[in-house]
Amino acid sequence: MAGRGEARRGRTILPNVSGLELEDVEKPATSATLFGNEAPLELEIGSGKGTFLVSESKLRPGVNFLGVEYTRLYWRFAEARRRRNVCENVRVVLAHAVTFIRDYLEDESLHAAHVYFPDPWPKTRHRKRRFVQPDRIELLARKLKPGARLQIVTDHAVYFDQIQKVVTDSSLTVVDFDMPASALEREIVGSNFERKYRREGRRLHAIAARRV
Ligand SMILES: C[S@@+](CC[C@H](N)C(=O)[O-])C[C@H]1O[C@@H](n2cnc3c(N)ncnc32)[C@H](O)[C@@H]1O
């Protein structure tokens, strides 16, 4: 938890806590193995500092929320936030999302997948690093239960064009975006990046799709 035991590096305060690392996660990663219960499981890819996970989990205590985040600093911030808010229905794993989804999740195990403000990798030579690509979306689609939804929000208009095409061409069916319970008035999801980008006046784009 941030506070006692935290280290200062420049102006950044590093919470002295760790969440789950891949070697701590039993395969397959399910509500039973991660949370010890059978509640529905929702995944956030690139969960950053955990704002969405924590806010949403408090309003929907009957659902388990799993974040996958590959930046150690953000993963630690998310774990600190999870502990501070005593969120028993949240876990955050330090991993590359593709590795985790491919190797740890069972097919048809997720009740929803959330991808909020995925890194846009604007340079052409970096575009292959984008999360939303046809093979990755199909991989994720297989992990959704029939009827479960994938939700994506971005501020990046060019990336959104690609996201729309990939999602529309995928095996998923595009549906209306469902605002999460924790979104405040005039918000789409209420994640950290949404709040930051709204302050900057950026236009935001959202899409949702359902596994038939
Ligand atoms: C722009 S931030 C958005 C964070 C949060 N979703 C929000 O809306 O505030 C993108 C996050 O995704 C993480 N990320 C990007 N690619 C990832 C990947 N392949 N696997 C896991 N995390 C990833 C980054 O480290 C970063 O924390």
Tell me, in angstroms, the distance from the centre of ligand 1 to residue 67's CA. Answer: 10
DSSP helix/strand/coil, 54: helix
Could you confirm whether 119 is annotated as catalytic?
Answer: yes
Evaluate: CB of 151 within 6 angstroms of ligand 1.
Answer: no
119 in any annotated domain: yes
Catalytic annotation, pick one of 107, 119, 135, 161? 119
Counting every residue written for the chain, the total comes to: 212
| Radius of gyration from C-alpha coordinates of the chain | 17
CATH number of residue 73's parent domain: 3.40.50.150
The 3-state DSSP composition of the chain as helix, strand, coil percent (nearest 5) reads 35, 25, 40
Residue span of the structural domain in which 18 resides: 7-210
Give the chain's domain count.
1
**Residue 2, in any domain of the structure:** no
Q: Is 152 in the pocket of ligand 1 (CB under 6 A)?
A: no
**Using a 6 Å cutoff on CB, does residue 68 contact ligand 1?**
yes
Per cent of the chain over pLDDT 70 is: 93
Say which DSSP state 24 is in. Answer: G
- Bridge-based pairing state of the strands 173-175 and 205-210: antiparallel
Could you read off the pLDDT of 144-175 as tens digits, one per residue? 999 999 999 999 999 999 999 999 999 999 99
- Inside any domain, residue 127: yes
Q: Which of helix, strand or coil describes residue 209?
A: strand
What's the CA gap between 158 and 52, in Å, rounded?
Answer: 24
- Mean pLDDT confidence for 203-207: 98
* Matching residue, tokens 């305060």: 13
Q: Looking at the domain assignment, is residue 133 inside a domain?
A: yes
> What pLDDT band is residue 15 in, cutting at 50, 70 and 90?
confident
Q: Cα dihedral sign for 96, 98, 154, 181?
A: negative
Residue 60 lies in a domain: yes
User: How many whole angstroms from 38 Cα to the centroid of ligand 1?
Assistant: 27
Query: Ligand 1: distance of its center to the CA of 190 in Å?
Result: 15
